[in-house]
Amino acid sequence: MDLYFVVLERLGNQVDRLEAALLERPETDLLQAIQQVRREVLFIRQTAWPLREVVNHLHREASPLVAQETRLYLRAIYDHLVQMIDTIEISREIVVGLLDLHLFNLNNRMNEVMKILALFTSIFILLTFIAGVYGMNFHHLPRARPALGLPGPVGGDDRRRGGHGAVFPQEEMVVGAGFKPAPIWR
């Protein structure tokens, strides 16, 4: 019975190390370690629950095969099992919380990437449209022959970039606090 507590202590230390590592660097290799600890906790839980029921039955039922001194011993074992199952349940909840925290970190990282992709999309979609329209070989397009035919759209693109600056006054609103753009984008 006492060896269960040694295993639970080792498992608790493993959970603490995983939690510290997850908060320090949320990487995908930690997911495998979290799943391994979760399987171990579930295995111990599956072995402890039936044992608790058997010990409780032996303690409560009157039988000439079980002496009074043995009943006191079984009561102590039952108390240890209840304490152990509580510890297992707490460990299981912590592991589930670690899994949720890992998935939350992955989701946040994906959201940061999506912000950057949305920014680049909003910049390049208009450029693609302008290049598509002015790249055609039609002689009757607006501004195709005047002197400001090419500077007009390019100037309009600069005004559009200025509009982005007005709508998104801080870079953090679009790309996040940790993003450092290349000098060409400043």
Residue 140, class by beta-carbon neighbours within 10 Å (0-12 exposed, 13-18 middle, 19+ buried)? exposed
Q: pTM to 2 decimals? A: 0.59
Q: Are residues 19 and 91 in the same domain?
A: yes
Q: Are residues 147 and 99 in the same domain?
A: no
- Determine the Cα–Cα distance for residues 30 and 3; give it in Å rounded to an integer: 27
Domain of 147 in residue numbering reads as 110-185
- Total tally of structural domains belonging to the chain: 2
d(CA 44, CA 46): 5
> Does residue 114 sit in the same domain as residue 172?
yes
Is 48 in the same domain as 102?
A: yes
Q: CA angle at residue 111 from 182 to 34, to 5 degrees?
A: 115
Domain termination residue (choose one: 106, 137, 172): 106
Question: At what angle are helices 68-134 and 29-60 packed, to 10 degrees?
Answer: 160
* Residue 82, domain CATH: 1.20.58.340
Residues 67 and 148 in one domain: no
pLDDT tens-digit profile, the chain (186 residues): 677 788 888 888 888 888 888 888 777 678 888 888 889 988 988 888 888 888 888 777 777 777 778 878 888 888 888 888 898 898 889 899 988 888 888 888 889 899 999 888 888 888 888 777 666 655 655 555 655 555 555 566 566 656 656 655 555 555 555 555 454 444
Of 91, 106, 121, which closes a domain?
Answer: 106
Same domain (yes/no): 114, 152 = yes
Residues 98 and 39 in one domain: yes
Asked if residue 97 and residue 16 are part of one domain, the reply reads yes
